[in-house]
Amino acid sequence: MRGGNRRTRSRAFPAAGGRRGGMGRLAIGLVVAGFALLSYCTSSEFNPVTGEKQYVSLTPKQEIALGLQALPEMMAQHGGEHGDKRLQAVVDQVGRQLVTTSAARDTGWQFDFHLLADPESVNAFALPGGQVFITYALFRQLETPAQLAGVLGHEIGHVVARHSAQRMAKANLTEGLMGAVAVASESAGSAQVAAMIGQMVNMKYGRDDELESDKLGVLFMSNAGYDPRAMIGVMEILARAGGGDRQPEFFSTHPNPDNRIAQIERAIAEVYPDGVPAGLQD
């Protein structure tokens, strides 16, 4: 009889301990999730260029420092700066004109423009804080200064909208929530589901970034005296470049150009509701 009672208790105690352990993991998971949400929600700032409240994880000084720190590595990945100083001067001139005639001038970002020697990767991108790049593979396919302005204006839009800082803040939130799920459930399957959800959230956020940068690029081009319809020409060039077996590197960081032309046309109509005036630089 006593032996039977001991066996009954030995089965009951681990079950109770398991329930307590599960509740403890759940409590820790809730704390982790709560901290992640609090950190994200208290990082909001108003962006005077976009007119929106945004959540950022870096100060402007940190963004500039981060971009400058990553500059040498990004240059090395694309063969360094292009050797033709005349072409670099063209990129500098157009980039500076876009900055000095737009709201980007008053933001305090440290803008520098780089023509990269890379002859194969059709791409343009920007680092946090103002470092803007275009590869020679894309540059040589552009047909007019206005098309170059469209590419650089789009990348300037990423900088002034602080898209990198916003992505970092959202990534930190996603990582925190994924960690909370993993702690609370101790289930690899649940953690995988949380990871997939996080990836989808961040992917949509990236598409929104691109559309916002297109809209800002149209505005910056127009302010600088360039015909914003040239940005449609850029999308057509990129679409043609993607017609072969080798997809442009641009497609890995930007939505398909065919899907953006309608958005660009709407942005142009907002800037020029009565039609694009004559005399703009093409």
Specify the pLDDT at position 147.
Answer: 98
Specify the pLDDT at position 118.
Answer: 96
pLDDT along the chain (282 residues), means of 10: 47 51 55 49 71 81 90 93 97 98 94 97 91 97 97 96 77 53 51 48 60 94 97 89 54 61 94 96 92
Specify the pLDDT at position 215.
Answer: 95
Q: Which DSSP state fits 114? A: E
CB burial of residue 272 (10 Å; 0-12, 13-18, 19+): middle
Cα-Cα-Cα-Cα torsion 237, 226, 212, 161, nearest 10 degrees, comes to 120
Tokens 């400058």 correspond to what residue? 68
The answer to whether 162 and 61 have CB atoms below 8 angstroms apart is no
Tokens 């043609």 correspond to what residue? 240
Taking the domains of the chain in order of start, what are their residue ranges?
40-271
The answer to whether 91 and 112 have CB atoms below 8 angstroms apart is no
Specify the pLDDT at position 126.
Answer: 92
- The set of residues, in sequence order, having a beta carbon less than 8 Å from that of 199 and lying 6+ positions away, is none
C-alpha–C-alpha distance, residues 237 and 143, integer Å: 9
C-alpha–C-alpha distance, residues 32 and 105, integer Å: 40
pTM of the complete model beyond 0.85:
no
Specify the pLDDT at position 32.
Answer: 47
